[in-house]
Amino acid sequence: MVSNPKAAEIFRGIADLLDVMGERFKPEAYRRAARSIDSLTEDLAAVAGRGDLRSIPGVGDAIEEKLREYLASGRVDYYDRLQKDVPAGVAEMLRIPGLGPKTARRFWVELGIEGPAELLTALDAGRLVGVKGFGEKKIAQIRSAVEAHRAGGSSARLPIAEAYPIALALVRGLREGAGAERVEVAGSFRRGRETVGDLDLLVTTEEAERAFDVFSALPQVKEVRLRGGTKETVLLQNGLQVDLRVVEPAAFGAALVYFTGSKDHNVQIRSLAKDLGLRVNEYGVLRGEERVAGRTEEDVYQALGLAWVPPELREARGEVEAAARGPLPTLVGADDLRGDLHVHLPSNADPDSVDRLLAAGRERGLAYLGVVVVTVDRDGVRSALPDSLRTHLRNASGPQLRTFEVGEFGPAEDPSSPTGDRRPPEWWVARPTKRSGPLQPPSDARGRVFLVAHRGLRDLGDVRGVAAWNDFARKLGAAVEVGPGEDRLDSTWARQARESGLRISLPTGVGESPDSPTGPIALRFARRAGALPSEVLNAEPQPPISGAAKP
């Protein structure tokens, strides 16, 4: 079965092999195409069907040809042939931190080493001693990296919701301990990607050394990887890598742009700068040696003739061209959210928990709360909240903060399956249902506030699955909920949903701890999808319950 992620994987494989073969620019070209394919909200076969493959950034004649071949046969001959030329283990050596294409190639060609296992054997036999370019330190470094790699080093990307509290704690530690004036988390965390590979922290301070000392001593930090005059890299206890960079205030905006990325976005604005006779780096926008911008991000973009681009959109998907035409539409923000359509009470909730939740809602200035009282699953309707609490909830609701009951309905695991199989939407529609609860989608008027929630689509890039669920939401007249669940596809889902006219619902995290990722991360995902306030159901001042229903 062909799929977008598999196609991207093949191109990344080609890139690795070309790297080892010493090609200069082709590897990056194939990787660029792979990244573009990963960020598609549409199935490749559908794009090909329209004859539109060339519209994918980074896809030209040669890659279009290979995509067609892949879609027709599931294979790419060029990749198969490359794999015959280069042993798989040589490409795998590229996965070892600190080992790049040049070194991997030298090991292979000069020493006949064809993979990490053989490299370790060679190290044990002392075969690297005396080889030009490999001193004592380098050999020790390689050995430790190979061993970590062989032990299954934790190089996997972390879901952003898990990185969120860690990032908050590090920022807090730096602010309190190092007297840092300004601390920001940049990188893919700031762009709101579903997963992060590392964290990039930027600080302004007069005392870089002190900031590094404080940072290294934080309890989350396991070891210092490298430390220079402006940059420190550490490894956290949980295996996450964190880069800390000290920048001067006059360059903070430029550094923030630079380290927020994405790489493709940076490349695009740099080449634009070049056309204008300017140069962009992390210190500013430069004309010759003169810095013409750098203090704020707005300055930097303005100096390039661009409107400021929200970090969540910096993926080289047309945002630079749009920013050249004029200001971008204002994306949904935290202040736009007037209510929450999906609030859970704990399973051991009592009247006090209900009161605390309502107090939290009022404190946030929310006008309404939709509290989950039933979950609709395979057996029809399951109650999640006892009748006594439902009565308490109704009575406690007032004019400042209205409450109403909502049901949950989504691609949850099939509870009857021991392996937790996911069921396609059709299965839910066709299922025998007892229809015994208060909410009976899709005929009930209140079905309009049904949310198709975010569980169950774990495979990154499963755009077909996403499309099926969005179609399902449309049939129900439901909004699509975006949030930092276990799933990793939410911004793809949300983008596809809003492009097809569906509305989005955003959880606010009301009633959760202040460090909870729910609200902030949901918002980032929605912004990443390009959501405007008008496209978000709970940005409406009134709750969208029956009576308010549109025809």
Partner DNA sequence: GCCGTTTTCGGCCCGACTGTTTTCAGTCG
Choosing from 112, 135, 333, 415, the residue that interacts with DNA (CB under 7 A) is 135
Burial, 415: exposed, middle or buried (Cβ in 10 Å; 0-12, 13-18, 19+)?
exposed
Q: Report the DSSP pairing between strands 195-196 and 158-159.
A: antiparallel
Determine if 30 is a binding residue for DNA (CB under 7 A). yes
Q: What is the 3-state secondary structure (H, E, C) of 164-191?
A: HHHHHHHHHHHHHHHCCCEEEECHHHHH
Determine if 228 is a binding residue for DNA (CB under 7 A). yes
Determine if 243 is a binding residue for DNA (CB under 7 A). yes
Sequence-distant (≥ 6) Cβ neighbours of residue 94 within 8 angstroms: 16, 19, 20, 100, 101, 104
Q: Which is nearer to DNA, 124 or 289 (CB)?
A: 289
Choosing from 8, 44, 47, 59, the residue that interacts with DNA (CB under 7 A) is 59
Determine if 241 is a binding residue for DNA (CB under 7 A). yes
Q: How far is the CB of 28 from DNA (least distance, A)?
A: 7
Helices (H), 276-350: 297-303, 319-325
Q: Which is nearer to DNA, 36 or 508 (CB)?
A: 36
Q: How far is the CB of 533 from DNA (least distance, A)?
A: 32
Mask: binding to DNA, 75-114, rule CB under 7 A, as x and -?
Answer: ---x---------------x--xxxxxxxx----------
Which amino acid is residue 430, in one-letter code?
A: A
Determine if 47 is a binding residue for DNA (CB under 7 A). no
Residues 155-194 that bind DNA (CB under 7 A): 187
Determine if 204 is a binding residue for DNA (CB under 7 A). no
Per-residue exposure over 258-285, b if at least 16 CB sit within 10 Å of its own CB, e if not: bbbbbebbbebbbebbeeeebebebbbb
Determine if 387 is a binding residue for DNA (CB under 7 A). no
Determine if 284 is a binding residue for DNA (CB under 7 A). no
Q: Which is nearer to DNA, 24 or 50 (CB)?
A: 24
**How far from the centroid of its chain's Cα atoms is residue 231's Cα?**
25
Q: How far is the CB of 163 from DNA (least distance, A)?
A: 15
Contact assessment for residue 450 and residue 406, using Cβ atoms and an 8 Å cutoff:
yes
Q: Which is nearer to DNA, 243 or 405 (CB)?
A: 243
Q: Which is nearer to DNA, 198 or 413 (CB)?
A: 198
Choosing from 275, 355, 471, 486, the residue that interacts with DNA (CB under 7 A) is 275
CA distance 410 to 123: 53
CA distance 185 to 469: 33
Q: Which is nearer to DNA, 235 or 307 (CB)?
A: 235
CA distance 488 to 460: 6
Q: Which is nearer to DNA, 29 or 366 (CB)?
A: 29
Contact assessment for residue 186 and residue 227, using Cβ atoms and an 8 Å cutoff:
no
Using the rule CB under 7 A, give the single segment among 62-70, 174-182, 367-375, 398-406 that binds DNA.
Answer: 62-70
Determine if 216 is a binding residue for DNA (CB under 7 A). no
CB count within 10 Å of CB 3 equals 18
Determine if 133 is a binding residue for DNA (CB under 7 A). yes
Determine if 365 is a binding residue for DNA (CB under 7 A). no
Q: How far is the CB of 89 from DNA (least distance, A)?
A: 15
Determine if 58 is a binding residue for DNA (CB under 7 A). yes
Choosing from 6, 68, 143, 227, the residue that interacts with DNA (CB under 7 A) is 227
Determine if 483 is a binding residue for DNA (CB under 7 A). no
Choosing from 8, 10, 17, 33, the residue that interacts with DNA (CB under 7 A) is 33
Determine if 124 is a binding residue for DNA (CB under 7 A). no
CA distance 337 to 505: 10
Choosing from 157, 263, 291, 455, the residue that interacts with DNA (CB under 7 A) is 263
For residue 125, what are the CA distances in angstroms to 73, 114, 119, 121?
A: 45, 15, 10, 6
In the beta sheet, which residues pair with residue 244? 201, 232
Q: Residues binding DNA: what is the number (CB under 7 A)?
A: 60
Q: Which long-range contacts (CB under 8 A, 24 or more apart) does 385-390 make?
A: 385/345, 385/349, 389/345, 389/349, 389/350, 389/351, 389/354
Q: Which phi and psi angles does 496 have, rounded to 5°?
A: -60, -40
For residue 422, what are the CA distances in angstroms to 376, 377, 425, 497, 519?
A: 15, 12, 9, 20, 26
Closest CA to 344 of 390, 377, 314, 385: 385
Task: Extract the tokens encoding 256.
Answer: 């923030």
Using the rule CB under 7 A, give the single segment among 279-287, 372-380, 485-493, 540-548 that binds DNA.
Answer: 279-287
**How far from the centroid of its chain's Cα atoms is residue 206's Cα?**
33
Q: How far is the CB of 60 from DNA (least distance, A)?
A: 3
Choosing from 230, 296, 433, 440, the residue that interacts with DNA (CB under 7 A) is 230
Q: Which is nearer to DNA, 20 or 376 (CB)?
A: 20
Using the rule CB under 7 A, give the single segment among 221-229, 356-364, 403-411, 501-509 that binds DNA.
Answer: 221-229
CA distance 401 to 391: 16
Determine if 153 is a binding residue for DNA (CB under 7 A). no
Q: Which is nearer to DNA, 316 or 467 (CB)?
A: 316
In the beta sheet, which residues pair with residue 374? 383, 407
Determine if 430 is a binding residue for DNA (CB under 7 A). no
Choosing from 122, 139, 328, 468, the residue that interacts with DNA (CB under 7 A) is 139
Q: Which is nearer to DNA, 258 or 469 (CB)?
A: 258
CB count within 10 Å of CB 450 equals 25
Q: Which long-range contacts (CB under 8 A, 24 or more apart) does 173-177 make?
A: 173/214, 173/215, 173/218, 173/220, 174/201, 174/203, 174/211, 174/214, 174/215, 174/244, 177/214, 177/217, 177/218
What are the residues binding DNA (CB under 7 A)? 24-26, 28-30, 32-33, 54, 57-64, 78, 94, 97-104, 132-139, 141, 187, 198, 200, 226-231, 241, 243, 259, 263, 266-267, 270-271, 274-275, 279-283
